[in-house]
Amino acid sequence: MKYTITSILICFCSLFGGAQSIAIYHEYLGLPMDDDLSGTTVEVYCDGTSDCYFLFIIENLTDETINIGLERHKIVAAEGSEDYLSFGMFIDPSESYSVEAVSPHDPFVPDLRVDLDTSSYGVLYPYYKINTSIGCSQYRYYFTNEDNEPIDSVDVHFCSTLAIDEEAKSPISIYPNPTQNQITIEQSETSSSTQLLITDLAGKVVYKQLIQGQAKTTIDLSMLDKGLYSATLFDPLQNEQIFNTKLVLE
Protein backbone atom coordinates (compact mmCIF):
# COMPACT_ATOMS: atom_id res chain seq x y z
CA MET A 1 0.00 0.00 0.00
CA LYS A 2 1.55 3.15 -1.13
CA TYR A 3 0.38 6.34 0.49
CA THR A 4 0.42 9.94 -0.55
CA ILE A 5 -0.21 12.90 1.68
CA THR A 6 -2.52 15.74 0.71
CA SER A 7 -2.08 18.74 2.95
CA ILE A 8 -5.14 20.48 4.32
CA LEU A 9 -4.65 24.07 5.37
CA ILE A 10 -6.07 24.12 8.86
CA CYS A 11 -5.32 26.48 11.72
CA PHE A 12 -5.17 24.10 14.66
CA CYS A 13 -5.33 26.97 17.12
CA SER A 14 -8.76 28.01 15.93
CA LEU A 15 -10.09 24.54 15.16
CA PHE A 16 -9.05 22.75 18.32
CA GLY A 17 -8.87 25.71 20.67
CA GLY A 18 -5.23 25.50 21.73
CA ALA A 19 -1.65 24.68 20.86
CA GLN A 20 -0.94 21.34 19.24
CA SER A 21 -0.03 18.78 21.90
CA ILE A 22 0.57 15.65 19.77
CA ALA A 23 2.13 14.80 16.42
CA ILE A 24 0.95 12.00 14.12
CA TYR A 25 3.51 10.10 12.02
CA HIS A 26 3.74 7.15 9.67
CA GLU A 27 5.55 4.22 11.28
CA TYR A 28 8.72 2.69 9.82
CA LEU A 29 10.67 -0.05 11.66
CA GLY A 30 8.99 0.87 14.90
CA LEU A 31 9.82 4.57 14.71
CA PRO A 32 8.05 7.70 13.43
CA MET A 33 9.07 8.81 9.96
CA ASP A 34 8.59 11.72 7.56
CA ASP A 35 6.55 14.81 8.41
CA ASP A 36 3.79 15.29 10.95
CA LEU A 37 0.57 14.08 9.31
CA SER A 38 -1.73 16.09 11.57
CA GLY A 39 -4.53 17.71 9.54
CA THR A 40 -3.69 15.81 6.35
CA THR A 41 -5.30 13.07 4.29
CA VAL A 42 -3.36 9.83 3.78
CA GLU A 43 -4.13 7.98 0.53
CA VAL A 44 -4.07 4.16 0.77
CA TYR A 45 -4.64 1.97 -2.30
CA CYS A 46 -5.89 -1.63 -2.00
CA ASP A 47 -5.63 -4.06 -4.91
CA GLY A 48 -8.66 -6.14 -3.97
CA THR A 49 -6.82 -9.30 -2.84
CA SER A 50 -6.72 -8.48 0.88
CA ASP A 51 -7.73 -5.95 3.49
CA CYS A 52 -5.44 -2.94 3.82
CA TYR A 53 -4.27 -0.75 6.65
CA PHE A 54 -2.02 2.13 7.69
CA LEU A 55 0.04 2.42 10.86
CA PHE A 56 0.25 5.72 12.72
CA ILE A 57 2.55 6.59 15.62
CA ILE A 58 1.35 9.27 18.04
CA GLU A 59 3.93 11.42 19.84
CA ASN A 60 3.40 13.61 22.89
CA LEU A 61 4.77 17.10 22.16
CA THR A 62 4.37 18.40 25.71
CA ASP A 63 6.65 17.95 28.73
CA GLU A 64 4.07 16.08 30.78
CA THR A 65 1.91 12.97 30.49
CA ILE A 66 -1.32 13.46 28.55
CA ASN A 67 -4.36 11.22 28.35
CA ILE A 68 -5.75 10.79 24.83
CA GLY A 69 -8.77 9.07 23.38
CA LEU A 70 -9.98 8.41 19.85
CA GLU A 71 -13.10 9.02 17.74
CA ARG A 72 -13.52 7.57 14.24
CA HIS A 73 -15.95 9.40 11.92
CA LYS A 74 -17.12 8.26 8.47
CA ILE A 75 -16.72 11.00 5.87
CA VAL A 76 -17.48 8.78 2.86
CA ALA A 77 -18.11 5.01 2.89
CA ALA A 78 -18.10 2.96 -0.32
CA GLU A 79 -20.96 0.49 -0.61
CA GLY A 80 -19.95 -2.92 0.73
CA SER A 81 -16.89 -1.70 2.62
CA GLU A 82 -16.23 -2.00 6.35
CA ASP A 83 -13.55 -0.80 8.75
CA TYR A 84 -12.01 -1.74 12.06
CA LEU A 85 -9.00 -0.62 14.09
CA SER A 86 -6.52 -1.07 16.91
CA PHE A 87 -5.58 1.74 19.26
CA GLY A 88 -3.29 1.88 22.26
CA MET A 89 0.40 1.77 23.21
CA PHE A 90 3.05 1.02 20.61
CA ILE A 91 5.00 -1.90 22.11
CA ASP A 92 1.83 -3.76 23.04
CA PRO A 93 -0.51 -3.04 20.15
CA SER A 94 -3.34 -2.63 22.50
CA GLU A 95 -6.98 -3.30 22.09
CA SER A 96 -8.18 -4.58 18.74
CA TYR A 97 -11.73 -3.62 17.86
CA SER A 98 -13.60 -5.88 15.44
CA VAL A 99 -15.53 -4.98 12.31
CA GLU A 100 -18.75 -5.77 14.19
CA ALA A 101 -17.79 -3.31 16.93
CA VAL A 102 -16.52 -0.49 14.69
CA SER A 103 -18.10 -0.41 11.25
CA PRO A 104 -21.82 0.00 12.12
CA HIS A 105 -21.15 3.03 14.30
CA ASP A 106 -20.54 6.65 13.36
CA PRO A 107 -18.79 7.94 15.28
CA PHE A 108 -17.02 4.99 16.86
CA VAL A 109 -15.36 5.70 20.22
CA PRO A 110 -13.03 3.03 21.67
CA ASP A 111 -13.41 2.38 25.38
CA LEU A 112 -9.63 2.58 25.78
CA ARG A 113 -7.73 5.78 26.56
CA VAL A 114 -3.94 6.11 26.50
CA ASP A 115 -1.68 7.80 29.04
CA LEU A 116 1.06 9.09 26.80
CA ASP A 117 4.26 10.34 28.42
CA THR A 118 7.25 11.96 26.72
CA SER A 119 9.21 8.70 26.40
CA SER A 120 6.61 6.44 24.77
CA TYR A 121 4.47 6.37 21.64
CA GLY A 122 0.82 5.66 21.06
CA VAL A 123 -0.33 3.72 18.01
CA LEU A 124 -3.35 3.66 15.72
CA TYR A 125 -3.96 0.93 13.13
CA PRO A 126 -6.93 1.77 10.88
CA TYR A 127 -7.96 -1.26 8.78
CA TYR A 128 -10.16 -1.29 5.69
CA LYS A 129 -12.16 -4.40 4.81
CA ILE A 130 -12.87 -4.52 1.11
CA ASN A 131 -15.53 -7.25 0.85
CA THR A 132 -17.17 -6.60 -2.57
CA SER A 133 -16.57 -2.86 -2.78
CA ILE A 134 -14.93 -0.92 -5.58
CA GLY A 135 -14.33 2.73 -4.90
CA CYS A 136 -13.09 4.96 -2.13
CA SER A 137 -13.96 5.56 1.52
CA GLN A 138 -12.67 8.28 3.82
CA TYR A 139 -12.46 8.10 7.59
CA ARG A 140 -11.43 10.83 10.03
CA TYR A 141 -9.69 9.98 13.28
CA TYR A 142 -9.92 12.58 16.03
CA PHE A 143 -7.62 12.38 19.04
CA THR A 144 -9.29 13.78 22.14
CA ASN A 145 -8.14 15.17 25.49
CA GLU A 146 -9.38 14.23 28.98
CA ASP A 147 -12.52 16.32 28.40
CA ASN A 148 -13.22 14.38 25.16
CA GLU A 149 -12.45 17.50 23.11
CA PRO A 150 -10.59 17.00 19.81
CA ILE A 151 -6.96 18.12 19.92
CA ASP A 152 -5.84 16.77 16.53
CA SER A 153 -6.98 14.65 13.61
CA VAL A 154 -5.90 12.73 10.51
CA ASP A 155 -7.94 11.40 7.57
CA VAL A 156 -7.38 8.12 5.72
CA HIS A 157 -8.71 7.80 2.17
CA PHE A 158 -8.91 4.10 1.23
CA CYS A 159 -9.41 3.22 -2.44
CA SER A 160 -10.07 -0.41 -3.38
CA THR A 161 -9.98 -2.14 -6.74
CA LEU A 162 -11.13 -5.63 -7.67
CA ALA A 163 -9.59 -7.68 -10.46
CA ILE A 164 -11.35 -7.40 -13.81
CA ASP A 165 -11.01 -9.27 -17.10
CA GLU A 166 -8.68 -6.81 -18.74
CA GLU A 167 -8.74 -8.43 -22.20
CA ALA A 168 -12.53 -8.45 -22.34
CA LYS A 169 -13.19 -5.02 -20.86
CA SER A 170 -10.32 -2.77 -21.93
CA PRO A 171 -8.37 -2.08 -25.16
CA ILE A 172 -5.16 -2.02 -23.12
CA SER A 173 -2.21 -4.39 -22.99
CA ILE A 174 0.90 -4.63 -20.83
CA TYR A 175 3.82 -6.65 -22.22
CA PRO A 176 6.08 -8.56 -21.99
CA ASN A 177 4.60 -10.54 -19.13
CA PRO A 178 6.57 -12.19 -17.54
CA THR A 179 9.29 -9.56 -17.82
CA GLN A 180 12.78 -8.99 -16.44
CA ASN A 181 13.12 -5.24 -16.04
CA GLN A 182 10.65 -3.23 -18.12
CA ILE A 183 7.11 -3.23 -19.46
CA THR A 184 5.30 -1.47 -22.28
CA ILE A 185 1.77 -0.19 -21.81
CA GLU A 186 -0.19 0.10 -25.05
CA GLN A 187 -3.59 1.82 -25.23
CA SER A 188 -5.62 1.83 -28.43
CA GLU A 189 -7.94 4.47 -26.96
CA THR A 190 -5.89 7.14 -25.19
CA SER A 191 -7.31 9.57 -22.66
CA SER A 192 -5.76 12.75 -21.32
CA SER A 193 -4.01 10.77 -18.58
CA THR A 194 -4.04 7.44 -16.75
CA GLN A 195 -2.55 6.47 -13.39
CA LEU A 196 -0.44 3.29 -13.16
CA LEU A 197 -0.16 1.56 -9.78
CA ILE A 198 1.93 -1.57 -9.25
CA THR A 199 1.26 -3.38 -5.98
CA ASP A 200 2.85 -6.39 -4.31
CA LEU A 201 0.98 -9.37 -2.87
CA ALA A 202 0.46 -7.54 0.43
CA GLY A 203 -1.33 -4.69 -1.37
CA LYS A 204 1.57 -2.25 -0.96
CA VAL A 205 2.05 0.14 -3.89
CA VAL A 206 5.67 -0.25 -4.98
CA TYR A 207 5.52 1.87 -8.14
CA LYS A 208 3.30 4.73 -9.27
CA GLN A 209 3.33 6.81 -12.47
CA LEU A 210 1.02 9.20 -14.28
CA ILE A 211 0.86 8.50 -18.03
CA GLN A 212 -0.02 11.57 -20.04
CA GLY A 213 -2.15 10.60 -23.06
CA GLN A 214 0.38 8.31 -24.72
CA ALA A 215 -0.57 5.36 -26.93
CA LYS A 216 2.57 3.44 -25.97
CA THR A 217 4.69 3.91 -22.85
CA THR A 218 7.76 1.93 -21.76
CA ILE A 219 8.45 1.79 -18.03
CA ASP A 220 11.62 0.67 -16.26
CA LEU A 221 10.92 -1.64 -13.31
CA SER A 222 14.50 -2.76 -12.66
CA MET A 223 14.30 -1.36 -9.12
CA LEU A 224 11.69 -3.95 -8.12
CA ASP A 225 12.43 -7.41 -6.73
CA LYS A 226 11.51 -10.55 -8.63
CA GLY A 227 8.04 -11.78 -7.88
CA LEU A 228 4.30 -11.51 -8.54
CA TYR A 229 2.66 -8.07 -8.67
CA SER A 230 -0.62 -6.49 -9.70
CA ALA A 231 -0.61 -3.74 -12.35
CA THR A 232 -3.64 -1.44 -12.31
CA LEU A 233 -4.55 1.54 -14.47
CA PHE A 234 -6.95 4.19 -13.17
CA ASP A 235 -8.79 7.02 -14.84
CA PRO A 236 -7.87 9.82 -12.37
CA LEU A 237 -10.67 12.09 -13.56
CA GLN A 238 -13.42 9.50 -13.07
CA ASN A 239 -11.70 7.90 -10.05
CA GLU A 240 -12.25 4.42 -11.47
CA GLN A 241 -10.20 1.39 -12.45
CA ILE A 242 -9.94 0.73 -16.20
CA PHE A 243 -7.45 -2.15 -16.34
CA ASN A 244 -5.90 -4.76 -14.05
CA THR A 245 -3.58 -7.69 -14.61
CA LYS A 246 -1.12 -9.85 -12.71
CA LEU A 247 2.49 -9.02 -13.54
CA VAL A 248 5.45 -11.39 -13.13
CA LEU A 249 9.00 -10.05 -12.73
CA GLU A 250 11.65 -12.72 -13.21
pLDDT digits (tens, 9 = 90+) for 112-140: 899 999 877 899 999 998 776 667 889 99
Query: How far is residue 158's CA from residue 115's CA, in Å, rounded to a whole number?
Result: 29
pTM, entire model: 0.61
Domain boundaries, the chain: 3-160, 166-249
Tell me the CATH class for 166-249.
mainly beta
Nearest in space to 22 (alpha carbons), one of 115, 157, 147? 115
Q: Which fold has domain 3-160?
A: Immunoglobulin-like (2.60.40)
**Residue 225: pLDDT over 80:** yes
Contacts 24+ apart (CB under 8 A), 96-103: 99/129, 102/72, 103/129
**Residue 17: pLDDT over 60:** no
Helix (H, G, I), strand (E, B), or coil: what is residue 191? coil
**Residue 165: pLDDT over 70:** no
pLDDT tier at 164, thresholds 50, 70, 90:
very low
Query: Which of 70-74, 100-104, 224-228 has the lowest average pLDDT?
Result: 224-228
Q: Is the dihedral of CA 224, 226, 227, 229 positive or negative?
A: positive
3-160 and 166-249: same fold? yes
**Residue 16: pLDDT over 60:** no
Share of the chain above pLDDT 90, in %: 34
Distances (CA, A) of 96 to 100, 101, 151, 154, 239: 12, 10, 23, 19, 32
